[in-house]
Structures are given as structure tokens and as C-alpha cells.
Structure 1
Amino acid sequence: MLLLLWARWSEPSVRLGQTLEQLAVAAGGAWTLALADVDAAPRIPQAFGAQNVPMVIAMWNQQPVSAFDGAKEPAEIAAWIENVAAQVGIALGDGAAVEPEQPEDPRMLAAEELLNAGDAAAALAAYEAIATADGPQSEAASAVRNITFMLRAQAHEPTVLETAAADDVDGQLAAADVLLLGQRPEQAFDRIIDLIRITDGDERTRARTRLLELFDLFDPAEPFVVSARRKLATALY
């Protein structure tokens, strides 16, 4: 599957979407195309660490395997798709690239409908109920973490970036949320790591706990997460 992160205000996004739709039809079902509007679903680009639109992400077995951003010519995209297929060991020509369809969980569909309708609080409650049943490693638990962060971050005033004192735990944690919501994870993590360096006791524990929670919003292999974990180790010891 190819996932296109796009925005209605971005002409390159719209054109790329049209190109991908044409290529998907020409592929005859060898791969599928999904679109995510970054304005309607901001947690999706955050999850992939996307900094720009348009961005195309190749997914295989529900994991990202390759990506590119910006506009490309149809021939370039077709060659990229062929290369991705070769990386995962499939042949597009024989239909082997079609991923087996998984039955959709009606509980997840209902929760997603609430989120798409703009009722984040109700969606959060629905995902929490599913996560309780399915466990902390489930897709629902991941959705809970993302929505919880989104609701908290959206409640902060952006001015906290300038007004929070260096040793103001609440202020700096709020500032980190604002930065992360603005897709600046490195700066968000650095804010909390700086706070950890100058605090101790319960305040330091609070800051460290929040940082670990933010790490969980991303793939642990993301370079900025790996770098921040190293900085955290240095700050603690």
C-alpha cells in the first residue's frame, strides 16, 4: 500500500494524488493507495515524522519500508514502486504484491468514525475501552496515546514557548507539547531534557516520565528518538 500525506491547499499534493490514482489503476490491483489529509488528521504525519507535504510512504505488512516527499514525474514514481517491491521481495507483475485483506474490527471502525466526525473525546473513550480489552501493545492503545497527546497539546497557548521560565516544569512540558504538535520533535525533546538537567526529585521524575510518553508516539528507530534517548541518558547520569 502507498500512503499519501497531502493537504487541500497544496497544489503539488493534489497533482501527486491524481498521478498516484492513475498509476494505481494501471497497476491493476497490485498495490493500493490511501490518502491522509494532514489538516484533518494531524496525528498521522506526526506518527511518521513528516515535515512536508506531499509525502508518499510505502507500507508493507503495516510497516513503512520507504518514502519520498515532493513532486515526482510518473516514470520516477513507477521506478520507485518497482524498487520498493524488489526490496520486500515481491513481483508486481504476478499479483504477489497484493496484501491479504484483514477483516476490519467494527470496534475500531466505530472509534475512527467518531474521530473523523470531530468528537475526539468520545473517540478517546472508545479507544480506551478497546485498549483495556486488547492490551497496551494494541493499535487501540496507540490511538489512545496519540489522541491524549493531541487533546492536551491543543489546550496550550502557543505563547508558552516564550513565557515559560527554564525551571517551570508545567510551562516547559506545555511548551514541548506545542513544539511536538508543530512537528518539531527534536526541539520538543530538547526542552524536556534541559528541564531534567536542572531539576531533581519529583519534578525530575515528572519530566522524565513525560519524555518517555512522548517517545512512545514514534517509531523507536526514528533518528530523532534515538538521539534524544542518548541525550536523556547523559542528562540523568
Structure 2
Amino acid sequence: MTQQPFSNAALRGAVDLSGLGKAPAAARPGAGPATSGAGTASDAGLTQATDASFEAVVKGSSTVPTVLVLWTAQVPDSLQHAEALAALSRDYEGRFVVVGVDLGANPGIMQALTPVLQQTFGQIDSLPVVLGLIQGQPMPFYLGVQDIAQLQPLFDQFLQAAATNGVTGRADVGADEEEVADEEAPDELPPLHQSAFEAIERGDLDAARTAYEQALAQDPSDADARLGLGQVELLTRTQGLDPAATREAAAQRPGDVPAQIAAADLDVVGGHVEDAFARMIDTVRVTAGEERNQAREHLLRLFEVVGTQDPRVATARRALTNALF
């Protein structure tokens, strides 16, 4: 199963959906319940979008994390999987909304998403196609029907990325009025996390870093703070980099550790996690001494940015061990 990373950086320049809808500014952390406005819901609780209504989906993803499921009637399992994900959304109490798209009836949506899907998957050889939307930017998840029971880590990371970007609204997942009235208000973010999110929103990465560092000083086991700090550091390192010049320098100087680090950071920002890992592992192979240690340590930092539970991290750890010994 191909999965993409989740970070603030992943929201930058993925694909332009302005032809079908343009996302407004990010919602404030702790935004209240909201719906996607995408269209009508099926008997299974799955909201269906069309080319005409997709603008509402894009806008809604600035308030509620959105999961798109591209299906077709020619593959019945693809629709059934979409409905299963809608049921999973209810288990998550509406922390993300699931929107289905019938590809046969809505070619415009597929046309808008094709560049990022081809960049990630190459040939689309199975359905459904599942991807996330945060603030109007797509994050490809996987192709084909997957075991719902195995998807929780993926959606947990997705929701963490959404929270980091201030997208914390909830969708109406069909609870009756009594249940809604009885629900407790969602837990507030810890003060330092709230400060970090607000700093990210206003573009003050130094303040966000300080807040996360303070959170870790108070609780070294705070995994969310450690992930947030890694993402902020990645954003800081890649600010102002010229992608073309950075990649050209890396191609010309395979043993230059700083050049490879800069290119690997851009790989992660662009969603090419496996490329970033492979680049740094190759750098470990062709260097020695302090340079080799520098490459190894940076790779370990990238593992933290992507998330240590990501299966690509486990694969890369094994490859790193082989490169070192």
C-alpha cells in the first residue's frame, strides 16, 4: 500500500485545484462542527461529489479534514470500500469526512487530480483511489481496496497533519439530536501546542519551534510535540531553497552530504519520501567518518518527520543497517 507523508510541508505546491475550487484561508484550531457541503449522502452515509459540487469539497477541507474516494460502478468493491470508510469516519466521531466521486460521471475531478496521482502512483491500475484533502491540497493515500482494520495509523497521521495546519472541525456523521446534545466538548489543545499552531498559522516558525521545545522539556514522551518540532524544522530548512538548483547540485556531487541533505528535505516536502530515504542511504554508502555519521543522523531525523510507525521507515531502517554494515 502506497502512503504519503503528512506535514505542513506536504501542503505546499502539491497540485492546483483552482479550476474546480479554491480553498480559503485555514480555519482556526478548535473550529466547531462543519460539513463539507459536497452533495447528497447515500443510504450508507457516504457523501457523493460531482464536478459541479467539488468546489464545496475543496472549501470544506479548510474546516474538516476530507477523504476523497474515487470509485466506479465497473468495480463494485470500490464503492463498497468508500462506504466502509464512511463508517470508519463515524467511528472517528466525524473528525474527517468521506466524499465519494463516481469517476464515470465526473471526469473533471479526475482531470484535476491526475498530475499528483501520476506523480505518486504512476499508472492508476486499481480502484478505488483514496486521498486526503487539507486546505484544498491533495495527499494521495493508496490504490485499491485495503483492510479497514489496518488503516487506523494512516488516518491517525492524517488527523495529526490536519491539526498541525489548524483544520480541526468535525463533520455531521448522522448522530441523532440526543447524542449530539450529550457529547462532551472536544478536548482543548495543550497550551504550548495551541501556541505552536497559532505561530505556524502566522508564519512564525521560530515561535512554533520554541513552543514545541518547551512542550518536550515538560514531557519528553510527548510524541505530538516531537512530530510537530520535526515538521517545523523541515519547513525552516527548506525555506528559500531553489528546487532546481538544489537538485542539480545533489546530482553533480553525490558525496556532498549538505547537498544531499537539502535535496532529501525537498523530496520529503514534495511527498517523495522513499526517494529521500534512498538518497540519504546512498550517501551513507559513499561516505565515511564524520560525513557518514552526518548523513545517518539526518536520515534518522527524517524518520521522525515522516512518523516512526510509517512502514516506509521500517523498510528504510533495514536498508540503512545494510549500508552501515
**TM bucket, shorter chain:** 0.5 to 0.7
CA deviation after TM superposition for structure 1 residue 224, in Å: 2.1
After TM superposition, the structure 1 = structure 2 runs for residues 131-146 of structure 1, keeping only pairs within 5 Å, are 131-146=216-231
**Equivalent of 1:11, from 20, 24, 28?**
20
Aligned partner of 2:29 in structure 1 is none
Match of 1:81 among 51, 72, 86: 86
Give the superposition deviation at 1:151: 0.7
| Structure 1: distance between partners of 2:260 and 2:269 | 14
Question: 2 CA distance for matches of 1:100 and 1:7?
Answer: 35
Q: Which residue of 214, 217, 234 maps to 1:129?
A: 214
- Alignment counterpart, residue 114 of structure 1, candidates 185, 199, 203: 199
Using the TM superposition, give the Cα deviation of residue 12 of structure 1 relative to its aligned residue in structure 2, in angstroms: 7.3
Q: Equivalent of 2:302, from 182, 189, 214? A: 214
Matched positions, count: 193
Q: Provide TM-score, normalisation by structure 2.
A: 0.49
Residue 311 of structure 2 corresponds to which residue in structure 1?
223
Paired residue type of 2:273: P
Residues 103, 143 of structure 1: alpha-carbon distance in 2 compared, 3 angstrom cutoff: same
Residues 227, 305 of structure 2: 8 Å contact kept: yes
Deviation per residue, 1:19-72 (Å, 9 max, x gap): 28x76xxx8xxxxxx9655xxxxxxxxxxxxxxxx961xxxxxxxxxxx55479
Please say if residues 172 and 191 of structure 1, whose CA atoms lie closer than 8 Å, have aligned partners that are also in contact.
yes
1:50-89 equivalences in 2 (<5 Å): 56=67, 69-70=69-70, 77-82=82-87
| Distance (Å, rounded) in 2 between the aligned partners of 1:138 and 1:190 | 25
The equivalent residue for 2:237 is 152
The answer to whether the Cα contact below 8 Å between 1:169 and 1:207 also exists between their aligned partners in 2 is yes
Unaligned ranges ≥5, structure 1:
28-33, 38-53, 57-67
CA contact (8 A) 1:114 1:122 kept: yes
Aligned to 2:168: none
Question: Cα–Cα, structure 1 residues 99 and 189, in superposed 2: closer, same or farther, change >3 Å?
Answer: farther
In the alignment, what sits opposite 2:249? 163
Q: Check conservation: 2:227, 2:307, Cα contact below 8 A.
A: no
Shift of 1:84: 6.0
Residue 192 of structure 2 contacts residue 214 of structure 2 at CA under 8 Å; is this kept in 1? no
TM-aligned CA distance change 1:193 to 1:146, over 3 Å: same
Which string of whole-angstrom CA distances, capped at 9 and with x for unpartnered residues, describes residues 177-226 of structure 1? 11111111111111111100011111111100000110011233323222
Does the aligned pair in 2 maintain the 1:176–1:189 contact within 8 Å?
A: yes
Kindly indicate whether structure 1 or structure 2 has the higher relative contact order, using CA contacts under 8 Å at least 6 residues apart. Answer: 2
Query: Unaligned 5+ residue runs, structure 2?
Result: 1-10, 24-34, 46-58, 74-78, 92-147, 150-172
Task: Give 1:62's aligned residue.
Answer: none
Supply the AA of the counterpart residue of 1:180.
V
Deviation (angstroms), 1:119: 1.6
- TM-superposed CA distance for 1:163, in Å, is 1.8
The Cα RMSD (Å) is 3.9
The structure with more helix, counted as a fraction of residues = 1
Q: Does 120-129 or 188-197 show the bigger shift?
A: 120-129
